[in-house]
Amino acid sequence: MTDRLPGFSTLAVHAGAQPDPTTGARATPIYQTTSFVFNDADHAASLFGLQSFGNIYTRIGNPTNAVLEERVAALEGGTAALAVASGHAAQVVVLQQLMKPGDEIIAARKLYGGSINQFTHAFKSFGWNVAWADPDEIESFERAVTPHTKAIFIESIANPAGSVTDIEAIAAVARKAGVPLIVDNTLATPYLIKPIDHGADIVVHSLTKFLGGHGNSLGGIIVDAGTFDWSKDNKYPMLSEPRPEYHGIKIQETFGNFAFAIACRVLGLRDLGPALSPFNAFMILTGIETLPLRMQKHCDNAKAVAEFLAGHPAVASVNYAGLPGDKYNNLARKYAPKGAGAVFTFSLKGGYDAGVSLVSNLQLFSHLANVGDTRSLVIHPASTTHSQLDDAAKIKSGAAPDVVRLSIGIEDKDDLITDLDQALRA
Amino acid sequence: MNHDTYPDNYIRGILNSVKSIAMVGASPVNVRPSYFAFKYLAERGYDMIPVNPGYVGKSLLGKPFVASLADVGRPIDMIDIFRNSSHIMPVVEEALRLSPLPKVIWMQLGARDDAAAAKAEAVGIKVVMNRCPKIEYGRLSSEISWMGVNSRTLSAKRAPMPTQGMRLSLNRMSVGGGQTAASDRVAKNKTETT
């Protein structure tokens, strides 16, 4: 038995997946079952009491989902993970472990529009307050810290403009404030950026995007870095104090450096309910096997398309961190040397009307509200994903009215460029 | 031995070789981590001995409590100490008076006493600190993967189904020596600041 670290591609194929003990099946079976029989009453009691490892009910855990969890934990360099029904579900479950009514989270202003809505409206109804900070100005995070701050939330590569966040600088703010840093790594994937290496304590994903990668299955995941001491003060009682749901067990004392993932499972997923379908877990696992191949192609295509657009007479500007001279190019070279992702925005000299016309003229790009598909996608954020924001907030989040967002697929790049060229000329 | 991080082969060697384990600080209260670990290790086939002077006359899962290591009255392969760091040294000193000596002294998650570890290692006893044998056994056998935990092992071999009282194979290929880079970093920082 050698203690040697396998490469990323080996982990993407193998981590978490052992041939099925009963049948010998090599691909991970889809355990499409709600429940699992107990050996006897004592076994049942020890499972419910968290004394044994094992399966009870698919809302709490499922063997197919567990393979996905270990796979993503291994790729991110975390101690454990919990798969849930969507990226949004991951965010609710994470914050339920950390927040009580009246508590605050500091969030980067540049976020997926759906997250901005969730934080602003849904979380407000739980009494969870959000303080917005600007990832381009690290001091704005420091200024937002109060005694009620429980976490800082950022995206590694931020939607919609593909801007790269200085994770290490914001991790330093979080450490000083004594709160965990949560990083949404959806647009980068661990192939491009591993936030835990840069100081993240919790990583979340919408698996729906590049990890699943084929635009066919929703999913979300929470990765525990195993780096945060939840018991150093009484700020995080879900982890440090006896839990009445489990006869007084203290989660961190019992589970050590994967306590946060366990809390998300046995206190969050169990009681809130957003379980991932085992079928979706299987589809996403299959997608992850080719993540390194796909992600490199996504990035290479995106760079070629961004370069083409930057030289096009109808284009006013391109925001792609992979382009030399881009505002985020230095951060991209530091954090994502293999590529700056495949989601970016550009603006048209013809403004809003030109954007609408471009979207309708494109033949190969699909007009829809998703990113991270094998297919290339286009959307006009101001009228869709970011439509609930006012104009000032749209501009601050990178979704001004003249901006078009692309998610570049893994087609042949020349075909994508030809399609954009004809649509811009039409 | 570097006690910030352990190679999987070190932990694997210990869990594969010891048969009897005396658990100092074992509790019959079924929400205490010591109870979980005692029960799990007993189910995996280890010969478990509960040591706790407060419960002499009672038994834990059919095994009678003894007051001290000296009262065990037979050779012990491993001593698993479920006490805070400040209570480790007297237990190690007691262990060093046993004849024959134990092969392994294991201190639970959160427990670490480098001076006590050095004393034990000086007479050839293997030491593990700040780890849980239940978690390590579950991890190396990949049984813990059912909880979404990163076992940091890989295998393309078909595993046998775990059953009551059965020892699982721990001989899987390890990923990078056991710990994640991030947890190593935290352990190192903690050691340096204390």
Q: Can you give the pLDDT at residue A42?
A: 80
Ranges of each domain in chain B: 8-193
ipTM of the complex: 0.86
Give the ranges where A30-177 is alpha helix by DSSP (H). 41-48, 63-76, 87-98, 113-117, 123-125, 139-144, 167-177
What are B121-142's pLDDT values in tens digits?
999 999 999 999 999 998 888 8
Spell out which residues of chain B touch residue A2, defining contact as CB-CB under 8 Å: 173-174
Distance from the Cα of B98 to chain A's closest Cα (Å) equals: 30
Distance from the Cα of B134 to chain A's closest Cα (Å) equals: 10
Distance from the Cα of B29 to chain A's closest Cα (Å) equals: 10
The rounded distance, in Å, linking the Cα atoms of A105 and A124 is 11
Distance from the Cα of B34 to chain A's closest Cα (Å) equals: 9
The rounded distance, in Å, linking the Cα atoms of B137 and B130 is 15
What are B66-118's pLDDT values in tens digits?
999 999 999 999 999 999 999 999 999 999 999 999 999 999 988 999 999 99
In chain A, count H helices and then E strands.
19, 17
Assigned token pair, A96: 């339920």
Q: Which amino acid is at A54?
A: G
List the domains of chain A with CATH numbers.
30-287 (3.40.640.10), 291-425 (3.90.1150.10)
Spell out which residues of chain A touch residue B144, defining contact as CB-CB under 8 Å: 53
Report yes or no: A18 at the B interface, CB cutoff 8 Å.
yes
Please state which of the four CATH numbers 1.10.357.10, 3.40.50.720, 3.30.40.10, 3.30.565.10 is assigned to the domain occupying B8-193. Answer: 3.40.50.720
Out of A15, A61, A226, name the one closest to residue B183 (CB).
A226
> B51: closest CA among B61, B60, B62, B39?
B60
Report yes or no: B135 at the A interface, CB cutoff 8 Å.
yes
**Tens-level pLDDT at each residue, chain A (426 residues):** 455 778 999 999 999 999 988 889 999 999 999 999 988 888 888 888 787 788 999 999 999 999 999 999 999 999 999 999 999 999 999 999 999 999 999 999 999 889 999 999 999 999 999 999 999 999 999 999 999 999 999 999 998 889 999 999 999 999 999 999 999 999 999 999 999 999 999 999 999 999 999 999 999 999 999 999 999 999 999 999 999 988 888 999 889 899 999 999 999 999 999 999 999 999 999 999 999 999 999 999 999 999 999 999 999 999 999 999 999 999 999 999 999 999 999 999 998 889 889 999 999 999 998 999 999 999 988 878 778 778 888 887 778 888 999 999 999 999 999 999 999 998
Out of A18, A225, A256, name the one closest to residue B135 (CB).
A256
Report yes or no: B194 at the A interface, CB cutoff 8 Å.
no
Q: What is the DSSP string of B89-154?
A: HHHHHHHHTSSSPPSEEEE-TT---HHHHHHHHHTT-EEE-S--HHHHHHHHTTGGGGGTB---EE
**Which of B60, B61, B146 to mutate against chain A (most A CBs within 10 Å)?**
B146
- Side by side, the strands of the sheet bearing A377-379 are A315-319, A343-348, A403-407, A377-379, A366-367
**Considering only alpha carbons, which residue of chain A is nearest residue B170?**
A1
Spell out which residues of chain A touch residue B160, defining contact as CB-CB under 8 Å: 21
The terminus-to-terminus CA distance of chain B in angstroms comes to 19
